[in-house]
Structure 1
Amino acid sequence: MANTFPEEGNTGIGTTNPQRALHVAGQDGVIRVDRSGNSSGVIINRTASDDINTPWKVFGLLVEAKDNNDGIFRISDFGVGVAGGSKTRLSIDNDGNVEIPGTITASNLNSPSDLRYKENIAPLSDALDKVLAMQGVCYQWKQEEFQEKQFSDNSQIGFIGQDMETICPEVVFTDSEGYKSLDYSRLAPVFVEAIKQQQQLIEQQKSALEKALAKIAKLEATIEKPSA
């Protein structure tokens, strides 16, 4: 049975202290929505437009743990977010970009690569020159300045985004605030082609050296041969 409290304008099911216009409480699953047609099973529409930092005003759907530190899951017209306390654990913006502070562990991570998806295919050129121009560095994250990123305090190795943009712009992503990030997996083809180019140089030098050694051996044999 639903209990309505006119003074607050809220309706409670399973609770005598409803916190919202409709508040459902229970020990088991409290809401079930079945649909047989092709329309949306649940539509939640946000109409407020003020203070974007107020979750109940901003987010179309909010799932909140009892203890705020346990985490919050949000879906909105601003994107999707999972947070614990004041820390954002996951965000998905309207362009489909995903940001997860911390460490990601996955058994498989696949990128589309089928020939049928691609056009204007051409071999990589100057791969060795690109690799020689890269500068690997070790560094520490600026944790205090960028606390929202939840950077690790461990020593890091990698490349600098601005440097890589001049060498392999295809692997550099720039966000809406101008910060750079790298897709390190896209560097693999560059390294492969650089190794192949380097191997070609090695083979050429090996062949030239073998020919030079053969000439030297022939000259030595001529010198050592007694005159008739």
Structure 2
Amino acid sequence: MQTIVKIYFYMLLMVQISSISFADSDPANPAKTKKPCGFPDDMNCFENKKVADADEVNANFKALLGRIDNINSVNGNIGIGTNSPSSGLHLYGGGWGSIITLSNTSTGRNWHMGPTETDYFTISQSNVGDWIAIRSNTGFVGIGLMYPTHRLHVNGTARSDQATFDTSSDRRVKKNITPLTGSLQKIQKLQPVTFEYIDDYKEDKESLDGKQMGFIAQDVKKVCPGMVTTTKETFGDQKIEDFHILNTSNLTPMLIDAIKELTAEVIQLKARIKVLEGKKNGCISEKSDYPQRQRQLL
């Protein structure tokens, strides 16, 4: 991006250099002309291919470019929208919105870049809302939404052909460790559903089209409150203060614990069936060692 800006700026100078104006020139200089050249009367014009003395060269880029407000004569900084640029290229705009706009006239698409009123830097496409947002005070990055609430917040689906994501799980960084129990009962209360997203929410997100499978966050919250959080969300004409977010990764340890509970029940039932079959065949006495063997199996 920096290279593109530099190239564009230099090209602009090259295109306009033939009509540049110079102040305080010697009236006797034969290169000077009084012909109209598009500049105020108090500025001097020189014809192309004529020579101006070095002390007469005092270019006014504000008059030349019209959109560049100031070039600092001390440090060479360029300001667009500001008369006191503090960096090499300083772009300034009032309010919030785009500071840089890239347009394609053949497609009618415009890309906008700039800060918002709440400390975000955004890149978006007009009338589409393909947002990339970076929040400076938290480091949160959002793709497909304007207000990310996590380090990486993707609105839609993400694909990885080979990459994997690892999670810190070292015992030395954890405390208050307790075994997870009672998961089978909670799993039985969860209700998987099929559904479709409303039009205002899915907008241009093709991945959200058609029938989906999953859970309703409000229903899961009644069974497992720790799996659900809330955030702010805007879609269509709606502004929701308590938009529910479901952390489905917590289902993995719960499912493992539920499987262990079922396995224990299966082992117990197998032992009982074996005892009952033995009694039926007359091979087990009332003084059977079944209780002891059952405890060993468990």
TM-score, normalised on structure 2?
0.52
1:1-228 mapped onto 2 (5 Å cutoff) = 4-6=61-63, 8=66, 10=68, 20-21=80-81, 50=95, 52=96, 54-56=97-99, 65-67=102-104, 69=109, 71-72=111-112, 78-86=119-127, 87-93=129-135, 95=138, 96=140, 97=150, 98-106=152-160, 107-143=163-199, 145-146=200-201, 150=205, 152-176=208-232, 177-218=241-282
Q: Is the 8 A contact 1:88 1:148 kept in 2?
A: no
Write out per-residue CA displacement over residues 137-163 of structure 1, whole angstroms, 9 at most, x where no aligned residue. 0000012x3256837212100000001
Question: CA separation in 1, counterparts of 2:88 and 2:184?
Answer: 55
Report the CA distance between 1:100 and its aligned residue: 2.4
Question: CA separation in 2, counterparts of 1:155 and 1:205?
Answer: 40
Q: 1:128 to 1:147 in 2, by over 3 A?
A: closer
Q: 1:80 to 1:213 in 2, by over 3 A?
A: farther
Write out per-residue CA displacement over residues 201-227 of structure 1, whole angstroms, 9 at most, x where no aligned residue. 11111111111111111179xxxxxxx
Q: 1:46 to 1:12 in 2, by over 3 A?
A: closer
Q: 1:208 to 1:72 in 2, by over 3 A?
A: farther
SS of 2:130's partner is: strand
Unaligned stretches of 5+ in structure 1? 23-40, 57-61, 221-228
Q: Is the 8 A contact 1:81 1:88 kept in 2?
A: no
Question: CA separation in 2, counterparts of 1:154 and 1:74?
Answer: 35
TM-score, normalised on structure 1?
0.66
Q: 1:43 to 1:194 in 2, by over 3 A?
A: farther
Q: 1:191 to 1:182 in 2, by over 3 A?
A: same
Q: Which residue of 1 aligns with 2:45?
A: none
- RMSD across aligned C-alpha pairs, in angstroms? 3.7
Q: Is the 8 A contact 1:139 1:155 kept in 2?
A: yes
Give the length in aligned residue pairs: 188
Q: Is the 8 A contact 1:128 1:197 kept in 2?
A: yes
**Which ranges of 4 or more aligned residues in structure 1 deviate by more than 6 Å?**
41-47
SS of 1:55's partner is: coil
Q: Is the 8 A contact 2:194 2:214 kept in 1?
A: yes
Question: CA separation in 1, counterparts of 2:230 and 2:112?
Answer: 28
Question: CA separation in 2, counterparts of 1:123 and 1:217?
Answer: 42
SS of 2:245's partner is: strand
SS of 1:88's partner is: coil
| Aligned residue identity for 1:84 | Q
Q: Which residue of 1 aligns with 2:3?
A: none
Report the CA distance between 1:183 and its aligned residue: 1.8
Write out per-residue CA displacement over residues 83-132 of structure 1, whole angstroms, 9 at most, x where no aligned residue. 22331343455553243233211221222222222111111121000110
Q: Is the 8 A contact 1:138 1:158 kept in 2?
A: yes
Write out per-residue CA displacement over residues 35-82 of structure 1, whole angstroms, 9 at most, x where no aligned residue. xxxxxx99989895x4x4x233xxxxx6x5443747555566533434
Unaligned stretches of 5+ in structure 2? 1-9, 14-59, 72-77, 141-149, 233-240, 285-298
Question: CA separation in 1, counterparts of 2:153 and 2:263?
Answer: 39
Q: Is the 8 A contact 2:81 2:93 kept in 1?
A: no
Q: Is the 8 A contact 2:196 2:209 kept in 1?
A: yes
